[in-house]
Structure 1
Amino acid sequence: MSALRIRTAEPADATDVLAFWKEAAEGTSVSDDEAGVSGLIARDPGALLLAETGDGLLVGSVIAGYDGWRCSLYRLAVLPSHRRRGVATALLEAAEERFTALGGRRGDAMVLEANERAQRAWSAAGYRREDHWRRWVKPLAERS
């Protein structure tokens, strides 16, 4: 996809990103609201990467968060009409470049267990499942 542009999200993108995720992403998160997306952008301005076509259509996203210890990848999503055109590859390359520039050593991706399409995409990008880990969570806030 030659006219693809990867950029970091800005605070004004929060509403569009949430609408995009409803169409393109699998699953939901407790942080799927304007406060969550805006908070991410404020806390780590380079973390939310967006892919746009030449005419500005949002076609992909990935959160590439780095806390100084771990390189964490979330919300790799591509608009269904633009899948299999290199959007995810371009987003992951941008995320990996970000991590390398920050001194990161390994990218970790959160992938839904039931999302076989995503598992195939991550595998094709060189990521491998680690069966000896399990995610443990505790909600800190009720979703309203």
Structure 2
Amino acid sequence: MSDCVFCRIRDGELPGSVVYRDDRAMVLLDLFPVREAHCLVIPLEHQPLLQNLSPELTAHLFELARRTIRAQKRAGLDVLAHNVMVNDGREANQHVPHVHIHVIPRRGGDTLATALTWGTRMMNIFGLAKRRHRLDRLAGLLAEHFPKV
């Protein structure tokens, strides 16, 4: 789908800080992260809603979410827990109508900061080039620690 940002990243039309990619899905860093190393697990197939995915692809996406958690911990990031979530549909706060799973690293005492960042994260459009460079470096680190299974 030509107007979908995730499809355009998939097709190389837009930059993306990709941690992992296979023939069914990819893991990339969120351009507007809630916390450092906030990742998105995205099917390569364009589908707006989770209910449209096959059971096999759904299972694969959640397996990649599990492996993303392991990569974040292996990379030595300050991670004690995770939020793993899907905003499924516009009314559920899904900003990009393409299925994606958020994998958000958490540490103790970050609840207020996380809530504030979640509410304002897409308003910060300044410094995208510098942010992209930082995300690309972090994607490389996570890719080095991404488990094969």
TM-score, normalization by structure 1:
0.42
Please identify which structure carries the higher helix content.
2
